[in-house]
Amino acid sequence: MASHIVGYPRMGPKRELKFALESFWDGKTTAEDLQKVSTDLRASIWKQMADAGIKYIPSNTFSHYDQVLDTTAMLGAVPDRYSWTGGEITLSTYFSMARGNATVPAMEMTKWFDTNYHFIVPELGPDTKFAYSSHKAINEYKEAKALGVDTVPVLVGPVSYLLLSKPAKGVEKSFSPLSLLSSILPVYKEVIAELKAAGASWIQFDEPTLVKDLESHQLAAFCAAYTELESALSGLNVLVETYFADVPAESYKTLTSLSCVTAYGFDLVRGTKTLDLVKSGFPAGKYLFAGVVDGRNIWADDLAASLGTLQSLEAIVGKDKLVVSTSCSLMHTAVDLVNETKLDDEIKSWLAFAAQKVVEVNALAKALAGQKDEAYFAANAAALSSRRSSPRVTNEEVQKAASAVKTSDHRRATTVSARLDAQQKKLNLPILPTTTIGSFPQTVELRRVRREYKAKKISEEEYTKAIKEEISKVVKIQEELDIDVLVHGEPERNDMVEYFGEQLSGFAFTANGWVQSYGSRCVKPPIIYGDVSRPKPMTVYWSQVAQSMTARPMKGMLTGPVTILNWSFVRNDQPRFETCYQIALAIKKEVEDLEAGGIQVIQIDEAALREGLPLRKSEHEFYLDWAVHSFRITNCGVQDTTQIHTHMCYSNFNDIIHSIINMDADVITIENSRSDEKLLSVFREGVVYGAGIGPGVYDIHSPRIPSKEEIADRVNKMLAVLDTNILWVNPDCGLKTRKYAEVKPALTNMVEAAKQIRAELAKAK
């Protein structure tokens, strides 16, 4: 009876690790305190899996920040700027790499495949020296063993590690980190030798890059790496784990021909095509770790369907060679449903968080072995059937409207240049208009007001008065700074998705459904369980209140449909695009109500549009088509004089610039300050862009206050490739995480820089 878990959430059921980390970073607790919390968390996770009957329990999937950074530490690949002198890597060096310190910046962080988790990108060059410098994998293996749990140590595989790396600063951009393969393998051999000596019988290498479109030299690196490790691995069972998509046929062929590999792990939830590959040929005598339980969502598994899949695989690989597993690490889902006291029983019966998924995996393994728990399977079937037939899930009217959108293109009637002219006549803005992205600092006092109102400790009247005062303060600050297009500062909002989800039907919210985003930061995604509609206006009241306080244009602020989709746990009983169209129609009503309420500038944020991009190029076009279409649906009905803005967060836009143009927004603001050059190179290469554009002129993720000169220099660089009449001047993201002591001087310098350049341009004329 064989069951396996790819990985498990690290934060703890009540975010214990988050609080321990932040307390340590603030200097309130010691390293020993942090290690104690970590040790207790690991022990409880291993015990939980052992008690549930899991046979292959992972170790070394816990982390104080990120598993790729742990690998960088293991290899001793510390960039020079951290002045590390060798020896075992300390917490101080480790956290400097992750977060920067007083004198040097952090390493770059980027998204882990197409999830909402972020990893720390290794910075490598031809001169990088590698040495075994963090014994975390062996220490955690021994720690579990001392507790009586024999685990499968998990390492980020050597080829994926290099494919996820980037050339360090100062290294030729054309440098290929993959060329360092023979330099990192000696460290892997040392780690393997220690694990073997400590009694490990299995080892898991995560090689998720195998699901991407790889070139032949990249595939050849897998052969080279595992051939080179063969003698070190002899006597061990080796599992190579893949996840997040199906494995392309060529990669499948390469992977299944590696002679030192004993077992292959596949994501059979997002990688259904891999099933066909297995059915058309699987190497004799090897193990198949079948990822049938979804590690990326919160829905209860369809146990009967999974059992059917497993039985068909059993016929191919053999009874003793099939292991039931999760589709990927469970770190991408919430921790434990037990802590959800607010969800009603019906919705709760449809869900399974990480702790419940462990039980599902084991129940499937038992059923395969002929010990099916009939009561458990029957309860699961009943819950699925209640979800299928629940009137809360289906709204015929919404279904009809969403299927009708496919018949139109939803474009505004006139071209963007004609619209910008009409808008300028009405708004009368200077050249290089200044604005901010939306949120202003969320003070302790403001959070207290929202919390007390939610807990019914203050009346609606008191709440409304407090929020109005806050908006008035934010409006006054912007007028004093002489900003051209104002925002109300979003004091009434907790989160840009949750705020809307709470006012739309078809959404449910958890109390503790936290998922790690990066480091100690967690997000609590809403659950979209049913058809989405908007019962009543959501933002119109506050936008009108704010507009009544100023003669300057006040932006209405909305979150776009694709971002709401990509930052939620989405229903799995219909295609994602259907749900996205439903959200788009709900936002469309809101846009039209804002316009009718006198709001002339409306921003619809699509921070996460690029995040949803599939891992395979062949699937990009379909996704971008429906994602961009969803955005256009929201604002196709407004007048030419209404200016539609959108905002996008840090991304490589270069490959999707044509889709961005196709969104047909009047103005787009882009978080760009960490990747200035990348974005501007698109326009340098001759992409013609006629709409308004505001690449962020300073980084709000850092407390640093940029000087007027620095901002002016940035704007001038942009003017070298963009027309004066389309450029906007703005920070690169919302300001809610910053303090007023940082925001006021930074915005002062931003406005001064814009005025200085306006004066220079007028003089030049």
Mean pLDDT, 10 residues at a time, over the chain (765 residues)?
A: 95 96 96 98 98 98 98 98 96 94 86 92 97 98 98 98 95 96 98 98 98 97 98 97 97 96 97 94 96 98 98 95 98 97 94 98 97 98 96 94 90 94 97 96 91 94 96 98 97 91 96 94 94 97 98 98 96 96 98 98 94 92 96 97 90 79 94 67 80 87 84 92 92 88 95 97 90
Question: How would you class 376 by CB atoms within 10 Å of its CB: exposed for 0-12, middle for 13-18, buried for 19 or more?
Answer: middle
428 annotated as belonging to a binding site for a ligand? no
Nearest CA to 157 out of 253, 46, 255 is that of: 255
CA distance 72 to 51: 33
Q: Which residue type occupies 451?
A: R
522 annotated as belonging to a binding site for a ligand? yes
Cβ–Cβ < 8 Å for 697, 729: yes
Alpha helices in 392-459 (DSSP H): 396-404, 416-427, 444-454
CA distance 101 to 99: 7
- Pair of tokens at residue 454: 């939610």
- Residue 526: per-residue pLDDT: 95
DSSP helix/strand/coil, 323: strand
Is 701 catalytic? The answer is yes
CA 292 to chain centre: 22
671 annotated as belonging to a binding site for a ligand? yes
- Pair of tokens at residue 414: 């006139």
18 annotated as belonging to a binding site for a ligand? yes
116 annotated as belonging to a binding site for a ligand? yes
* Phi, psi of 496, deg, nearest 5: -70, -15
- Residue 765: per-residue pLDDT: 81
605 annotated as belonging to a binding site for a ligand? yes
CA distance 727 to 700: 20
CA distance 584 to 667: 19
Nearest CA to 179 out of 123, 220, 215, 126 is that of: 126
126 DSSP 8-state letter: T
Residue written as token pair 């007001």:
449
Question: How would you class 415 by CB atoms within 10 Å of its CB: exposed for 0-12, middle for 13-18, buried for 19 or more?
Answer: middle
Pick the catalytic residue: 135, 410, 620, 701?
A: 701
Could you tell me the pTM of the whole model? 0.93
Question: What order of strands is seen across the sheet that includes strand 505-508?
Answer: 505-508, 527-533, 569-570
350 annotated as belonging to a binding site for a ligand? no
CA distance 530 to 64: 36
Return the H-helix or E-strand segment holding 228. Answer: helix 216-228
580 annotated as belonging to a binding site for a ligand? no
- Pair of tokens at residue 186: 């000696």
- Residue 105: per-residue pLDDT: 82
> What are the Cα distances from residue 650, in Å, to 236, 421, 664?
42, 29, 20
* Phi, psi of 687, deg, nearest 5: -70, 130
